[in-house]
Amino acid sequence: MKFVSTRGQTKPHLFSEAVKIGLAPDKGLFVPESMPDLSQEIPTWEGLSYPELCYEFFKHFATDIPADELKSLVEKAYSRFDHKEHAPLVKLSDKLYVQELFHGPTLAFKDFALQLLGCLYERQVAMSGESINVLGATSGDTGAAAISGLLGKKGVNIFILYPDGRVSPLQERQMTCLEEENVFPLCIKGSFDDAQAALKDVFGDKEFSQEVHLSAVNSINLARILAQCVYYIYAYLKLPADRRERATFVVPTGNFGNVLAGWMASRMGMIVDGFRVATNQNDILHRFFDAGDYSLGEVLPSHAPSMDIQVASNFERFLYFSLGGNAEMTREIMESFKKDGSFQVGGMAITEFMTSTRMDDEEIAKTISEVYREYGYTADPHTACGFKDLDKLETAVVLSTAHPAKFPDVVANCTGVEPTHPSLEALKSKEIRKFSVDPDEASIKAFIRSKQ
């Protein structure tokens, strides 16, 4: 299989090439040239372990990696999870389930993609003999998960941009309390959107990217989205058979990558009732799916900091697919959005199959308390955003995106019990090591060059 750019001005690439490059040279995002039809295969995957299911899924995409090698990469990627099911499905009622995606090394759903991406990068370095510099931006969990996935990987330096003071204290410690000399947490003044915009500008300089062998770790990287498709199929097969096609996946998301992965799985043959985008008060995605308005707003700090985003980078992939693979129209819309900060859906029917909700901080706190009282279940602030208007759904699967111990103050205030985790407790006595840079292309390039 080959992968093309959403903007249509880049030649098709094989899987490993697309993963290596990250952002397409025309500044678009890589997508499969065509979606495989897995409708006949998915039922046969019931009962497989998580790594086995991941392998069966990825062999349709990573066609340039020998089967035995791919299987070994997958097994290594998921060897550090602390639950035998990796992504267990917890039943709260006959109509409500929670899929826990926080059993990886950094206690967040990003581990599912970034543990695998780290192994793919390690393979790339071994095959090419060239070191690489991995650049990413984070609103909280991506940075720690990316660093964890790349720790101990030879020939890899990792640079993570994050908004200073706008991630939780423990999220910051997961990125900065490390002694490895190849890890560079870069704090910036501003929001995640400022970091993401600067990152895209850096990748847009083809000469610089080639000079320092730059690769992307954000969800702009194709492997990230494909890896996240797997846990949807895993949850789908764990549901009672008579509820699968009636299920709605409810997905807390800011950057749109998480829910996009589920939507892509449905396009490949996982038949469900639909998807719901659950946002916090930074609600550009809710405004789009509710009213067709995709326009920038001010980024407001919230109880759910990983969703404090107003430019959802993976929205471009959704737009491309919804427009029938029309790269020219996608390019025009995205270029117009960059210039004007908005676009309207108009006559395009691209919001079908997805609904959305919004929660402000007051609602998040209230929901954490209610879920704890009613079900005895502790939800982190991001997961809490998914527990809104669920009575309207026949069967709901809420994706739990992070361990509540990453946000102890908010959760303790709402439940009366402070959540803890041994890996986080160990960080509290360690020294923070971070670097300040301006959120602009020149400053970031200069820092990366200084570490070569």
Residues noted as catalytic:
110
* DSSP β-ladder status, 247-252 and 156-163: unpaired
The 3-class SS string of 262-296 reads HHHHHHCCCCCCEEEEEECCCCHHHHHHHHCEEEC
* Run of H or E including 369: helix 361-375
Which residues lie below 8 Å from residue 160, measured CB to CB, with a gap of 6+?
Answer: 135, 136, 137, 138, 142, 143, 146, 147, 175, 183, 184, 185, 186, 217
Question: For residues 192, 149, 171 and 289, what is the CA-based torsion angle, rounded to 10 degrees?
Answer: 40
From 299, 308, 187, select the one nearest 255 (Cα to Cα).
308
**What single DSSP character describes residue 139?**
S
Whole-angstrom distance, CA of residue 384 vs CA of residue 407: 12
Cα-based distances in Å from 1 to 58, 64, 140, 285, 298: 11, 8, 33, 31, 40
Coil/strand/helix, residue 100: strand
Whole-angstrom distance, CA of residue 45 vs CA of residue 35: 18
Render the burial of 124-146: b for 16+ CB within 10 Å, e for the rest. bbeeeeeebbbbbbbbbbbbbbb
For residue 119, the tally of other CB atoms under 10 A from its CB is 22
Whole-angstrom distance, CA of residue 160 vs CA of residue 176: 10
Coil/strand/helix, residue 104: coil
Whole-angstrom distance, CA of residue 245 vs CA of residue 248: 9
Q: Which residues on adjacent β-strands are paired with residue 109?
A: none
Which string of DSSP letters, residue by residue, matches 227-250? HHHHHHHHHHHHS-GGGGGGEEEE
Cα-to-chain-centroid distance, residue 80:
19
